Structure 1
Amino acid sequence: MSTLVVPPVPCTPKDDAMQLHRAFKGFRCDTSSVINILAHRDATQRAYLQHEYTSLYSQDLLKRISSKLSGRLENAILLWMHCPAGRDALILKQTLTVNKNLEAATEVICSRTPSQLQYLRHIYYAKFGVYLEQDIERNTSRDHKKILLAYVSTPRHEGPEVDKEMAENDALVLYKAGERRLGTDEKTFVRIISERSAAQLAAINQFYRSNYGHSLKKAIKKETSGYFGRALFTIVQCADNRAKYFAKVLRRAMKGLGTDDKKLTRVIVTRSEIDLRYIKEEYLKKYKKTLNDAVHSETSGHYRVFLLSLLGPNQ
């Protein structure tokens, strides 16, 4: 469930565009006004706003934002201004081909639903003139490449139906392909985990736990490594509890000395309109602290205000 707070009677796109233009004018930007508008508009409203701004002032709103803001806040707001699929496409293009952040690319691909991935592939090609599979092929390697390619291209059912007999058999096949043998049969892991629905994978994980003493996730950690292991784990964890997976990602982003602002921004911005409320619930349950309080203690200034605005009320 979304945490985005939109006014019950929001301003028109024209009024928003005019308010933003006033906030941008002069030597200093009225950053608070910019945040108050943009952090409380959904994807459709943001798209209309960008179109209206260009119509009124013959300027691209994203370029105007970039010229007036800087640092972490600029990065967060520019990412926020895109629609979910366009944002994912942009993240993947950057992480696969520019800064080679394969951890982030793996997170985005392996945590999305089949329908989200199908639309993402379409948007990716429309934006960049190259297929997502081509950029995966060129910028990843070995088993990591195989699981990503299989996961983005294999059609999967999204319903709650489960074939229990198949799930128990898959658990046995994965056990034999991993813990039961010397060395790991990676092909079997790629085939089953890329082809089964989320509900089916959750059932496999349960059968694995009941039949072999621990979860499939634990077996994956034991039997695989690197980006390949991370991809498999992400798929299975998201099938079991997507919100819990992202709560853990956010915890790692803020744990220890320093904060991984790119990871923190990416998760909050990409999940705000989807399931951030559930992620907040899982965070509180697991770490006994609200996500809002954690973000407040790890960030500052207008960047903090913007992220907290997307997080919604502290509850």
Structure 2
Amino acid sequence: MSYPGYPPSGGYPAFPGYPPTGQESAYPPAGQYSYPAVPGGYPPAGGGTYPAAPPSAGYPGAAGYPAPGGYPAPGGYPGAPQAGGMPPYPGGPGFGAPPPGPGFGGYPQPPAQSYAGGGPAQIPGYPGGQAPSPMPGAPAAMVQGTQGTVQAAPNFDAGRDAEILRKAMKGFGTDEQAIIDVVANRSNDQRQKIKAAFKTMYGKDLIKDLKSELSGNVEELILALFMPSTYYDAWSLRHAMKGAGTQERVLIEILCTRTNQEIREIVKCYKSEFGRDIEQDIRGDTSGHFERLLISMCQGNRDENQTVDYQKAQEDAQRLYQAGEGKLGTDESCFNMVLASRSFPQLKATVEAYSRIANRDLLSSIDREFSGNVERGLKTILQCALNRPAFFAERLYYSMKGAGTDDSTLIRIIVTRSEIDLVQIKQMFTQMYQKTLATMIASDTSGDYRRLLLAIVGQ
């Protein structure tokens, strides 16, 4: 069995031990992330040993790790899951369980990008037992991190694109394909330049023109693509709390998955664009422990130190156990404190330490100790720490599963992840549900809406 969530959405930094710690990338991600350099490739060809684990990590001995027949060996890793399998992902309100499969919490390991260090190594869990060859041109010990399906167009000319869009909307009828060809193949920054060029050249507002020519889901999708990224998140949060009722899942999806910098920019944008304080809106629309969790998220103060303190992970795991499974009742504030403040790599180590202490997966414990929106929020944070692309793949799947389609969720995730990690999300989707994201989109949507979504997804 392969290491859960390996490689993760953000890539691993070099770390002298196993497992390597995670790394959260900036928004949008940039640059490359390195794996620990291991002579002859990683993992070693022929099933050799991994680097020794730090003693404080509590892993079984380094030699021959993981043990043949499964990851990890019985008696080593948390609560001694049987060889060849990890504990299943606990389902819960609003989060259906992905199909059983390798990986932590039922999430399969993300499809490999390319390992540094040389030719194919025999790895259980890969088709044919083969790890992919290194990415062409990738320097030693470097591997591609997260990747979007939408890239900035080369030889970009905002004026020329504005002219194409004007021609597509002028006169009788609309050339939707011409609009799709431009919009789906430009980065968000380039779309902002097209919008400015359009107003300069024609004295008209591009968004108003597009709204007059389009309708329904394709209109919502194109308008989302033309919103600056931060504004779109702020706009989504405002609409989730505006009017009667609250779309709590939107609040969770955005506030529990973004980086510190993104959150601070969203909070500032929310104030400047809508003249409102997001904390006050959250207090007015939510209550109890869920309200406190969201207020914590709004601070954008999560520790972002990528170095894992295994001793602290052990202490936090013990603290969480004593606050939940180890006592009558639940100390919700303890869960809030740990999950809202620790870095994602640190939380990953805490999840592993917790399983050793409690003989239970932390996600499963949260299922037992919490309910409703606070449960969803806490699980979202952990899912992002363990495997962020898998979290978004699951959200996409359930936006289309069953009768009807949650088009707003489908649009929001495709648009917000299109320049960050939609490549990894697509790969996870296929691995988790045995069908491609494009196949499901094609069967659930139609017309120009389908064509534009598929163009963004990269089909």
TM-score range for the pair, normalised by the shorter chain length: over 0.9
The answer as to 2:155 corresponding to 1:9 is: yes
| Partner residue, 1:199 | 345
Give matches, 1:93-108, under 5 Å: 93-98=238-243, 100-108=246-254
Count residues in correspondence: 312
The answer as to 2:223 corresponding to 1:88 is: no
Maintained 8 Å contact 2:264/2:300:
no
Gaps of 5+ in 1: none
Displacement after TM superposition at 1:156 (Å): 2.0
Displacement after TM superposition at 1:154 (Å): 4.9
Which of the residues 380, 402, 422 maps onto 1:276?
A: 422
Runs of 4+ in 1 over 6 A off after TM superposition: none
Quote the Cα distance in structure 1 between the aligned partners of 2:266 and 2:307.
Answer: 25
TM norm structure 2? 0.66
Which of the residues 215, 218, 221 maps onto 1:70?
A: 215
Aligned-partner residue type, residue 131 of structure 1? D
Quote the Cα distance in structure 1 between the aligned partners of 2:357 and 2:454.
Answer: 43
| Partner residue, 2:436 | 290
Which of the residues 264, 276, 286 maps onto 1:140?
A: 286
TM norm structure 1? 0.95
Q: Residue deviations 1:140-166, cap 9 Å, x none?
A: 111111000011215123242111111
Aligned-partner residue type, residue 410 of structure 2? L
Query: SS at 1:273's partner residue?
Result: coil
Quote the Cα distance in structure 1 between the aligned partners of 2:364 and 2:394.
Answer: 15
Q: CA RMSD in A?
A: 1.4
Q: Residue deviations 1:186-209, cap 9 Å, x none?
A: 111111111111111111111112
Quote the Cα distance in structure 2 between the aligned partners of 1:159 and 1:297.
Answer: 43
Give matches, 1:258-273, under 5 Å: 258-273=404-419
Query: SS at 1:160's partner residue?
Result: coil
Quote the Cα distance in structure 2 between the aligned partners of 1:44 and 1:211.
Answer: 48
* Distance change (3 Å), C-alpha of 1:153 and 1:7: closer
| Partner residue, 1:116 | 262
| Partner residue, 1:229 | 375
| Partner residue, 1:244 | 390
Quote the Cα distance in structure 1 between the aligned partners of 2:174 and 2:450.
Answer: 17
Query: SS at 2:256's partner residue?
Result: helix
Q: Percent identity of the aligned residues?
A: 38
| Partner residue, 2:188 | 43
* Distance change (3 Å), C-alpha of 1:214 and 1:138: same
**Rg: which structure is higher?**
2
Displacement after TM superposition at 1:133 (Å): 1.6
Displacement after TM superposition at 1:73 (Å): 0.5
Displacement after TM superposition at 1:63 (Å): 1.5
Structure with greater proportional helix content: 1
| Partner residue, 1:187 | 333
Maintained 8 Å contact 2:261/2:300:
no
Which of the residues 154, 159, 166 maps onto 1:21?
A: 166
Displacement after TM superposition at 1:256 (Å): 1.5
Quote the Cα distance in structure 1 between the aligned partners of 2:185 and 2:456.
Answer: 8
Quote the Cα distance in structure 1 between the aligned partners of 2:192 and 2:154.
Answer: 18
